[in-house]
Amino acid sequence: MKILLVSANTLKVPYPVYPIGLDHVAASIPARHRVRIEDLNVLEDIGGLADSLRKFEPELIGISLRNIDNTDTTDPVGFIGGYRRVMEAVRQVSTAPVVLGGSGFTLFPRRVLAELGADFGIVGEGERLNGLIDALEAGRNPSGLPGIILPDTEEIPFPSPWTGECKPRPANQGTHLSWYLKHSAMLNLQTKRGCPFRCIYCTYPLIEGHNLRLVAPGDAAATALALEAAGARYLYITDSSFNADIGHSLEVARAFKKAGLTIPWGAFFTPLTLPDGYFETLAEAGLKHVEFGTDSLSDAVLRFYKKPFTVEQVVAAHEAALAAGRHVAHYFLLGGPGETPQTLDETLGHTDKLRKTVLFLFCGMRIYPHTALFHQCAEKGHLAPETDLLEPVFYHGGTIDDEAIRRRVVEKAAGRVNWVIGAGGEATAATLDRMYEKGFSGPLWEYLIR
């Protein structure tokens, strides 16, 4: 069967992100099929996609929907309208069935399937596409297969992590590789799936499950090395939290070093209590950027959010990463349950405890279906259970609203280049783009560190 996989993500804030998910999907499809990947960042317009469809004449089209919106209350942008235009262009040129997938799709499967008028959707991990391919080839009805939905599916198989082997992606990045090498030289790598934490608002366990499924460290290192050989000058580890399994993260780092990886890399971390020398071991293997999902510096709020750490642990983890000479940033998520004018002051005040850093401050907590936050809001009557959450809805149950939070944050951020509101918007993306053109690579926020 000829299968065309399309990355529909054209968001370039904070920088264009290599569509790693499609490589995983492509790598899992048996070799007897012909698979091609198209990326709308590379094609630049929908006309290019139409040309590709005419030439390749796929018998199945898979569209990857990574983002639904930018989750930013300061400068909100939604992507469903753009995906609709992609779908229309596809339908004009091709009669092949269309299957949707990706992290964004997984969060709103039935809604997005109906909105775009696609034939099938895969909830969760795209390795399940093979069940659909086999059914289509054999002329069988795929409904009821794990993870697969049709327009008339009533029960969404959700959350439904795929339980097969978790393999790293081989360095087979298709024709779009050169575009990303030119536009940041940053590729990405997954060393595990799943997230064991229970943060009330978070979608990660819905997308990948709660159980950690680990990639063998040697396999992760072999892939990292292959990505370096393919031209990557930086690797971003896409794991929900790289240190969610401390032992495995150390093993991966040691495997990187043993394999002779020379390029730097970065990852998301949870500010947990870490063994002595933890960041030193990672640094020796090339770790350059540490991005902590800190959210708040008020213990009361951290408890409300069900974060697995306290402010004291945040500061200790921060100091440990600094002591190892790493660049450190923190992501904040202000305005969720428990936030009050006092807790906000506490968080903003405690930022003084974090020296030499960059803060990315998101004002407002998006509510996603099936999360603990969603159920809390429904129970307390803050949210009607049938509310359509595809158009972003932010938490509004506290004693301070997002606008008031934003005003205070903007006031406090004045004159501080290391306080970035949200992901920094188009201006940040434009600066990064110029730096990538000059040959810089990586997330580059270290230039803002103060």
Which one of 180, 197, 204, 436 is in contact with ligand B12 (CB under 6 A)? 204
The mark string for 98-127 relative to ligand B12 (x by CB under 6 A, - otherwise) is -x-xxxx-xx--------------x--xxx
What distance in Å separates the CA atoms of residue 228 and residue 86, rounded to the nearest whole number? 32
Peptide bond preceding 19: is omega within 30 degrees of 0, i.e. cis? no
Cα 138 off chain centre by: 35
What distance in Å separates the CA atoms of residue 40 and residue 44, rounded to the nearest whole number? 6
State yes or no: residue 186 binds ligand B12 (CB under 6 A).
Answer: yes
Contact of 264 with 286, CB cutoff 8 Å: yes
State yes or no: residue 241 binds ligand B12 (CB under 6 A).
Answer: no
Q: Give the shortest CB-342-to-ligand B12 separation in angstroms.
A: 27
What distance in Å separates the CA atoms of residue 152 and residue 143, rounded to the nearest whole number? 9
Angle, helices 129-138 vs 20-28, to 10°: value is 50
Which one of 173, 238, 249, 371 is in contact with ligand B12 (CB under 6 A)? 238
State yes or no: residue 62 binds ligand B12 (CB under 6 A).
Answer: yes
State yes or no: residue 250 binds ligand B12 (CB under 6 A).
Answer: no
Binding segment for ligand B12 (CB under 6 A), chosen from 11-19, 88-96, 294-302, 383-391, is 11-19
DSSP state of 353: G
How far from 270 is each of 119, 295, 313, 343, CA to CA, in Å? 39, 10, 10, 21
Binding segment for ligand B12 (CB under 6 A), chosen from 212-220, 234-242, 312-320, 337-345, is 234-242
State yes or no: residue 68 binds ligand B12 (CB under 6 A).
Answer: yes
Q: Give the shortest CB-432-to-ligand B12 separation in angstroms.
A: 11
Contact of 394 with 355, CB cutoff 8 Å: no
Give all strands (DSSP E) within 228-324, no chain letters.
234-237, 265-269, 287-295
129 contacts: CB under 8 Å, gap ≥ 6: 25, 28, 29, 62, 99, 101, 122
C-beta of 338 vs 364, nearer to ligand B12: 364
Q: Give the shortest CB-62-to-ligand B12 separation in angstroms.
A: 3
State yes or no: residue 441 binds ligand B12 (CB under 6 A).
Answer: no
* Contacting residues toward ligand B12, per CB under 6 A: 5, 9, 11-14, 16-17, 20-22, 24-25, 62-64, 66-72, 99, 101-104, 106-107, 122, 125-127, 129, 186, 188, 190, 203-204, 207-208, 236, 238, 240, 422-423
